[in-house]
Amino acid sequence: MFVELEGALETLCQVAGRVRQDQLGTAAWRNHAAMSPESEMLAVLADIGRDALDEGRLAYAVRRFKGHPALNRARTPADRASVAAVIALEINLRPLSVQYDQILDEFGLIGDAMGYALLLVAHGVEAAGYTGDRLIDVLRKAWPEIRPSTTSIRPNSLPRR
């Protein structure tokens, strides 16, 4: 068994050496690696510091990525990375230390689409180390600065040309 493994590694090293010297082969290998859903998900996970997922969660993320409807409209690598980022964030969210409906109620956002944004901010605040009552305190201070003003310009209030 050891002899076969040694032979396989030696062959792999030879192939890697040949491909490295071949500019066209190297470019083709990079393009192939860049296009694999696994590498795209791993790149995004590494960017957010969450690349130490177990195999099952990574496989789940890759399946979600491959089946995401927005992937059909993705035209560039940046578009594909945006889809991967949505999935990476979703699979890395853990339950909050405060019930989500308590947070929404505290800010009067039950049934409001802005509640989604508030919960995402809450996850970020918890990731920074603020939990429980401290989470609510930080959200009270941050949310007024983050939430769009109710007096902001609306599409129908713009002057006509």
Residue 161 has pLDDT above 50, yes or no: no
Phi-psi region at 4: left, alpha or beta (left = phi > 0; alpha = psi -120 to 50): alpha
Q: Other C-beta atoms within 10 Å of 60: how many? A: 14
Give the pLDDT score at 25.
63
Do both 42 and 27 map to the same domain?
A: no
Whether 72 maps to a domain, the answer reads yes
Do both 41 and 88 map to the same domain?
A: yes
Whether 155 maps to a domain, the answer reads no
Domain encompassing residue 113: 95-148
Q: Which two tokens stand for residue 123?
A: 């996850």
Whether 159 maps to a domain, the answer reads no
Do both 52 and 72 map to the same domain?
A: yes
Q: Pick the residue with more confidence: 153 or 29?
A: 29
Total number of domains constituting the chain = 3
Q: Over the stretch 50-103, which tens digit does the pLDDT of each residue have? A: 878 889 989 999 999 999 999 888 888 888 888 998 888 888 788 899 999 999
H-helix or E-strand containing 23? Answer: helix 23-35
Whether 156 maps to a domain, the answer reads no
- 8 Å CB contact between 58 and 41: yes
Give the pLDDT score at 95.
87
Do both 26 and 50 map to the same domain?
A: no
